[in-house]
Structure 1
Amino acid sequence: MSDDRPVVAATRRATKTYPGVRALDAADFEVRAGEVRALLGRNGAGKSTLIRLLSGVETPDSGTVEVGGSPLGDGGVRRATELGVGTVYQELSLVPQISAAENLFLGVWPRTAGRVDYPRMRAEAREVFAELGLDIDPDAIVADLPLARQQLVEIARAFRARPRLLILDEPTSALAAGEADIVLAAVTRIAGRGVGVIYVSHRLDEIRRVADTVTVMRDGAVVETTDVAGATTARIVSLMLGEAADEVPERTEADVDRSATPLLSVRGLSVPPKLEDVSFDLYRGEVLGLGGLMGSGRTELLRAISGFLPAGAGSITVDGQRVTRPTPAVMKRLGVGITPEDRKGEGVVPLLGVSENMVLTWFKGASTAGTVSPARVDGIGRGLIERLSIKTARPDTPIVNLSGGNQQKAVIGRWLHAQSRILLLDEPTRGVDVEAKAQIYRIVRELAAEGAAVLFVSSELEELPLVCDRVLTMRAGRLAGEFTGADITLDTIMAAAMAA
């Protein structure tokens, strides 16, 4: 990357502190016109804070932010937009019920004689799509478009404003490999028109294809910026982890009899386009970790095993019995329980009590003569609350009033009540504090010691060595590595999850 290209955006000694946390520490960062700068770092490294500063969502406590040579100051998002910053966040912000063209011009519809000029809007939308090489019908309703096309509409909306700087936050995390190719091609076209691009992703194969340079952040600081071509995967992982790369946490491996019949066996499981040919075994008393970055297929794998997502191919066997037609009801009867990734949206019924939430999957134990007994619900709840150390004033306290960690323990307790012997835990420690994490680790190990088999999914790869007997990694819908014993370390897991 030649240094004579103008700097389109920069932070100079930018620092940002939240209560108890220094999220950004004297960060110097800049991106040039036509450059695609990859931004890498673990969770909490400071990437999101840096993006918020550049897009005007936050202002630094000290230091400066500049766009196009002008200070951003405290002008906020409006000032950043005026100076030429466009941001596409990981979560789509489109209106599904209206057309692609209407989304492109949302809030700034072209008008003639005081009325929205639809022919002009369609024509201009068609020009923007063509400029990016996109075959998207301006009249298509966004809800009817595949996810990759929706992502492209979001990017095109930001590009329509002719930004100096375009920030893309994990734009392909929810996409399969083939869909991601379309997004990468559009990013290359945008950079070719002189726009500086910040590309946040953990997919190193994509970064090597689309980025010129890579900045690695750690603990709120910019650690290093280097050319992508000269950066090996091992070097990038080492920069991201720092001293943590040398940490090997103490872990007592369970005595798992892998010569016995697996409690769960998966063979050739495919769910196009998210999963392809996944095979593994899970044994009694084992905690099997499943690590991978967002969009790697972890959640789809758990949903396919539990019957919520129809598989296109492959087989599932439970305790030697092949399941011919897995459905949630069938898998529950076979002893399979799943805690969803979206605890708030899918894991709890907010206004029901803690005890009521824990008996939802199996009313039999809470019923008398076919009628749910409040006394039995209360008794079951009290037992599980004590066993799982759930902090609540009463068993009938609405679960929405509990902390995230205590809600998560209650969701796990639901499957203990249902006497599940195979537990599929999708991000069981997401959004919980350190104390709650330690408690969940203890609960998982205790369940395994009692003979349960646990599949523990986490995007926080550093926690897998703390709780798992064996770890599988996923990348782009396929299994990418298996680690046991002393090989279960943060650097080996992360390298396998990120490598091309």
Structure 2
Amino acid sequence: MAETMKDITSPRRPDGPGSGADRPAVEMSGIYKSFSGVPVLQGVDFEVRAGEVHALAGGNGAGKSTLMKILQGVYSMDAGEIRIDGEPARLSSIHDARAAGVGMVFQEFSLVPTLTVAQNVFLAAEPMGRLGMINDREAVRRTREVFAGMHVEVDVTARVQDLSTAYWQLTEIAKALAQDARILIMDEPTASLAKHETEALFELVERLKARGIAIIYISHRMEEVYRIADRITILRDGGRLFTKSLKEVTREEIVEGIVGQKIEGELEYKERAPRGTREVLLEAQGLNAGRRVRDVSFQLHKGEILGLAGLMGSGRTELARILFGIDKLDSGEVRLHGRRVDLGNPRDAAAVGIALIPEDRREQGLVLDHSVRDNLLLPLLSRLKAGPLISDRRGNELARSLIQRFSVKVANMAKPVRVLSGGNQQKVVIAKWLGTEPEVLVMDEPTAGVDIGTKSEILDMIRNLADEGKGVIVISSEYPELLAVSDRVVVIKDGAVLTVLDRGDIPDEESLQLAVQGV
């Protein structure tokens, strides 16, 4: 690496002829791409200037990630031209893109969990010693510099699998920055970050801009786009809808451009039946599990949406895993309809009518190389038996009905689920567990990484499930969404219940943030 991380993040404008924010760092012209005959990109033009943050937006399946993976050398384009710093670029591999100064922070993690943070940051670019051996000490030193430049504290000698999801994302960012990228693609970089970590990332982005690095920022979070971006390009159905300065476009125009129609009221709370009229469906009493869940008690009523709020690492996800039988209880009990239930494993939980939509759909919710059909049917195989065999006919009928019911966009359900957009992958995870007809549905970050249209669909789905009499527990770091659906909010801190608030007692997002912080 030509420069240390301190050099990379220090404010410095590019110098020399033709430098500055008006100089195109990347120009992509007439880009076409199809998969198995299905067009994904159809003549897309896109450019980003040096020293600019250019937001790239669009609905799930619009072609954003595909366009960026072409720029990263992961996919080859069928037609079109790419120019970097004014020169034609042939990007046939990630190595070609890296040599051209392109780095990408993927929405789906590309880390090796069993390696350390430092080993991941310099994977395939390890510093070498005099005898041709990998210099781990130098990798550790450089990685510490990278994180110091990001203003993030992390044990760079720790294995990635032992860290929280937030640090996985930060390691992805550090990995890209360590390659001395002049063009940095960030695909939903804050999806797993806490508020203070997001602020640190934004400060880093500003320093990178000042040095003339071009940043392509993919995000479904409008407040982030307006906070950090200079211009925005919206893709729809594989084509470019428009490119505009953020100063010239309203939030409503962006949303309508992404979705194709106006969406009103998706984040407004809708009054529901008083809790006192509903029976207690599920009750947790004195749950303890390691350090992350400490003496947690709460009730979930039939037809109620119960929000779980807390900072990252507060114990929200661990509580969800306990309710689905993944993690074991040290003490305490869970009651369903007043009767104690044994949640020794996920099969036990599913048998009594509890389902979990996990935090990470790709790692925990899907078998990526299996078909959409097979993923949908995994929890439902017992229903498809015809004697000792599985009925393909029944399976196909059930899979088609779930695809239709949950509006999963897929041309062929025999295709691997990994080729679907993030939003449609999330719909598959939700559909397969709702196909089991659970009484209690636990949803951990159900709208993470999905576009605003799919987000609206999922929030309406949650409301409809509660209206049908199901109990829904929603964990979300997106407080506006949590407030839009929750009848009550349980605030968790350091593994314990800090307070339980009725929705009517939470006037706004700021009040919930203060409650989460214990103020």
TM-score (norm 1): 0.62
Shift of residue 167, structure 1, vs aligned partner: 0.9
Equivalence for 1:115: 133
CA distance, structure 2, for counterparts of residue 261 and residue 149 of structure 1: 41
Equivalence for 2:406: none
User: What is the CA deviation profile of residues 208-233 of structure 1, one whole-angstrom value per residue up to 9, with x for unaligned ones?
Assistant: 33333332222112223333455543
> SS state of the match for residue 101, structure 1?
helix
User: What is the CA deviation profile of residues 294-350 of structure 1, one whole-angstrom value per residue up to 9, with x for unaligned ones?
Assistant: x9x997785465465699xxx98754x4989987689849933215545995689x9
Equivalence for 2:483: 480
Equivalence for 2:120: 103
Equivalence for 2:409: none
Contact 2:118–2:140 (8 Å) recurs in 1: yes
User: What is the CA deviation profile of residues 385-406 of structure 1, one whole-angstrom value per residue up to 9, with x for unaligned ones?
Assistant: 28xxxxxx7643599xx77975
Equivalence for 1:92: 109
CA distance, structure 2, for counterparts of residue 139 and residue 237 of structure 1: 42
Equivalence for 2:279: 261
Among 198, 201, 205, the residue aligned to 2:223: 205
Matched, 1:469 2:464: yes
Instruction: Calculate percent identity across the aligned residue pairs.
Output: 29
Equivalence for 2:24: 7
The letter of the residue matching 2:464 is: D
Cα gap change, 1:481/1:346 in structure 2, threshold over 3 Å: closer, same or farther?
Answer: closer
Shift of residue 430, structure 1, vs aligned partner: 3.7
Shift of residue 31, structure 1, vs aligned partner: 1.0
CA distance, structure 2, for counterparts of residue 329 and residue 432 of structure 1: 20
Among 177, 183, 194, the residue aligned to 2:195: 177
Shift of residue 39, structure 1, vs aligned partner: 1.9
Cα gap change, 1:68/1:278 in structure 2, threshold over 3 Å: closer, same or farther?
Answer: farther
CA distance, structure 1, for counterparts of residue 327 and residue 397 of structure 2: 26
- 1:340-351 equivalences under 5 Å are 340-341=357-358
Q: What are the ranges of 5 or more consecutive residues in structure 2 without an aligned counterpart? A: 1-18, 267-272, 403-421, 467-471, 488-508, 514-519
Shift of residue 63, structure 1, vs aligned partner: 2.2
Cα gap change, 1:147/1:32 in structure 2, threshold over 3 Å: closer, same or farther?
Answer: same
Contact 1:36–1:191 (8 Å) recurs in 2: yes
CA distance, structure 1, for counterparts of residue 363 and residue 166 of structure 2: 26
Equivalence for 2:258: 240
CA distance, structure 2, for counterparts of residue 198 and residue 78 of structure 1: 19
Among 215, 239, 245, the residue aligned to 1:221: 239
Cα gap change, 1:39/1:428 in structure 2, threshold over 3 Å: closer, same or farther?
Answer: closer
Among 186, 190, 196, the residue aligned to 2:208: 190
User: What is the CA deviation profile of residues 399-423 of structure 1, one whole-angstrom value per residue up to 9, with x for unaligned ones?
Assistant: 9xx77975998xxxxxxxxxxxxxx
CA distance, structure 2, for counterparts of residue 289 and residue 163 of structure 1: 44
The letter of the residue matching 2:477 is: A
CA distance, structure 1, for counterparts of residue 456 and residue 107 of structure 2: 22
> SS state of the match for residue 480, structure 1?
helix
Shift of residue 54, structure 1, vs aligned partner: 1.1
Equivalence for 2:8: none
CA distance, structure 2, for counterparts of residue 73 and residue 99 of structure 1: 33
> SS state of the match for residue 94, structure 1?
coil
CA distance, structure 2, for counterparts of residue 238 and residue 17 of structure 1: 26
> SS state of the match for residue 485, structure 2?
strand
Cα gap change, 1:301/1:241 in structure 2, threshold over 3 Å: closer, same or farther?
Answer: farther
Cα gap change, 1:308/1:185 in structure 2, threshold over 3 Å: closer, same or farther?
Answer: farther
- 1:79-158 equivalences under 5 Å are 79-111=96-128, 112-136=130-154, 138-158=156-176
Contact 2:325–2:345 (8 Å) recurs in 1: yes
Shift of residue 454, structure 1, vs aligned partner: 6.1
Equivalence for 2:384: 385
Shift of residue 235, structure 1, vs aligned partner: 2.8
Query: Pairwise CA RMSD of aligned residues?
Result: 5.6
Matched, 1:283 2:284: no
CA distance, structure 2, for counterparts of residue 430 and residue 70 of structure 1: 37
> SS state of the match for residue 43, structure 1?
coil
Q: What are the ranges of 5 or more consecutive residues in structure 1 without an aligned counterpart? A: 249-254, 361-380, 387-392, 410-426, 485-495
Equivalence for 2:389: 396
> SS state of the match for residue 263, structure 1?
strand
CA distance, structure 2, for counterparts of residue 468 and residue 93 of structure 1: 34
TM-score (norm 2): 0.60
Contact 2:62–2:237 (8 Å) recurs in 1: yes
CA distance, structure 2, for counterparts of residue 403 and residue 73 of structure 1: 43
Contact 2:59–2:236 (8 Å) recurs in 1: yes
CA distance, structure 2, for counterparts of residue 428 and residue 118 of structure 1: 39
CA distance, structure 2, for counterparts of residue 404 and residue 67 of structure 1: 49
